[in-house]
Amino acid sequence: MRDISCHDTGLKPNMQRSGPIKRLLQTFTLFAIVIMATGQGWAQSVPVVSGARIGVHPDSTRLVFELDRDLPYKVFTLADPYRVVIELPEVSWRVPEKRMKASVGIVSGFRFGLFQPGNSRVVIDINSPAAVKGHFTIPASLGKPQRIVIDLATVSAADFASGPRSVQSANWANPARTPQSAPRPQAPRNDDKRVVILDPGHGGVDPGTIGGSGVYEKNITLKVAKAAKKILEASGRYRVFLTRNRDIYVRLRDRFEVAHQNNAELFLSLHADSIRNRKIRGGSIYTLSDKASDKEAEDLAAKENKSDIIAGADLTGYAPEVSRVLIDLAQSDTNKESWHLARQLIGELKGEIKLLRVSHRYAGFAVLKSPNVPSALVELGYLSNRLDEKNLKNPAHHRRIGNALLRAVDKYFTRKDQNNRS
């Protein structure tokens, strides 16, 4: 058996097992270990994270990750809001889909997923500044899997600002950074198909909202986008690109960059909301504005604009467009087109899915901030409502939405062509 590797910590891993201390610990199991009878051959290629736990110790909060092999890792902290990010190579998360909300010790939230190709992440929200007090790995033994253990301790805001912000395992090597995780530009085309971008909201380490049954918004939006792409392309009139093809995080700005790279004429962002009042159901269409149509639209935009923060992205050095959306003059013509697009979407979707009474709203959505590509954000319904959630999990419903989107896009371009001719 290999020695336990310890890094700048006085804590011994067997603290976990010692009787008196164990009794002091209030350990909350967030995710059960998944026993995989079938996954062994497959696990040879992609590392698997099979469990994650948070435990409260007298003077620290302990994070334990269970893996099928020894993996390099890096831990760093971020401020505004305070977060701890654990970087890993690309891994497969074999933990049950369930609510990611954790309120344990200084931890107020917890999520994981793919951050960019080759690089997975765990992002932990903490309710006070903290530092990594110790970290080590425990090799697999006695039927227990390989583990990474990270101890966090509260520090003052001043110590947080001046102290070290990152630690890593001895075998950590920075993953190859791709400039962006969005699809690359395509080769020039010689047909006259129009290019439409479908943007499945959220992804990877940003799950979006979580339905009552445990379904993730990020998975619903991807399924709807794939179904709609198939339907739009089958018409022979459109070439459709998705801002993501799999369960991966994509920065908000990279999403509308895909539209520019591909000379797209339309951008549709797909989402599903949740709300405290579980009786409320229905979809709605949003367009960009620096003044929100109402308080709910403003709150929704603020929520959707948090994607980069949720994913633990370091936005240092970027323009503040994620937190504040400014509309420039170049956008006003595009915004008029977006308004027409929204009207067509409502006209076609209302026969297929239930819409809210006020179905067209506007607010400062960062993902819609493309200066020259007409854009709209479609909230497909509420995952907090049982009926909406049931529909949004149904492939037939995805096709209904896809057909409505096709008719709306057709009508939008028919009107545009008529206007160009007259």
- Under the rule (CB under 5 A), what is the footprint of Zn ion? 201, 208, 271
Residue 80 buriedness (CB in 10 A; 0-12 / 13-18 / 19+): exposed
CB closer to Zn ion, 129 vs 201: 201
Rounded least distance, CB 329 to Zn ion, Å = 29
Rounded least distance, CB 13 to Zn ion, Å = 40
Closest residue to Zn ion: CB criterion: 271
Rounded least distance, CB 217 to Zn ion, Å = 5
- Long-range pairs, 170-174, Cβ under 8 A, ≥24: 170/5, 170/7, 171/70, 171/72, 172/72, 172/73, 172/74, 173/72
Are 201 and 252 within 8 A, CB to CB? no
CB closer to Zn ion, 362 vs 413: 362
Rounded least distance, CB 222 to Zn ion, Å = 12
Distance of alpha carbon 151 from its chain centroid, rounded? Answer: 26
Rounded least distance, CB 60 to Zn ion, Å = 34
CB closer to Zn ion, 255 vs 271: 271
Q: Kindly list the strands in the beta sheet with 266-273, ordered across the sheet, starting from the edge strand earlier in the chain.
A: 238-242, 194-200, 266-273, 375-382, 283-288, 355-363
CB closer to Zn ion, 106 vs 377: 377
Residue 72: which residues within 8 A CB-CB, separation 6 or more? 88, 89, 168, 169, 171, 172, 173
User: Minimal CA–CA distance to 109: which of 97, 123, 96?
Assistant: 123
Assigned token pair, 2 = 């290999």
Rounded least distance, CB 122 to Zn ion, Å = 21
Assigned token pair, 151 = 């101890």
Count of CB atoms situated within 10 Å of the CB of 91 = 23
CB closer to Zn ion, 154 vs 384: 384
Rounded least distance, CB 208 to Zn ion, Å = 5
Rounded least distance, CB 362 to Zn ion, Å = 16
CB closer to Zn ion, 183 vs 201: 201
CA distances from 128 to 83, 87, 150, 151, 387 (A): 9, 21, 17, 15, 38
Residue 160: which residues within 8 A CB-CB, separation 6 or more? 77, 79, 82, 129, 130, 131
CB closer to Zn ion, 165 vs 393: 393
Rounded least distance, CB 201 to Zn ion, Å = 4
Are 271 and 388 within 8 A, CB to CB? no
CB closer to Zn ion, 47 vs 201: 201
For 286-303, what is the HEC assignment? EEECCCCCCHHHHHHHHH
Cis peptide preceding 81, ω within 30 of 0: yes
CB closer to Zn ion, 83 vs 255: 255
CB closer to Zn ion, 183 vs 208: 208
User: Minimal CA–CA distance to 231: which of 398, 78, 385?
Assistant: 398
CA distance 342 to 408: 9
CA distance 391 to 404: 15
Between vectors from CA 138 to CA 206 and to CA 67, what angle results, nearest 5°?
35
Rounded least distance, CB 212 to Zn ion, Å = 16
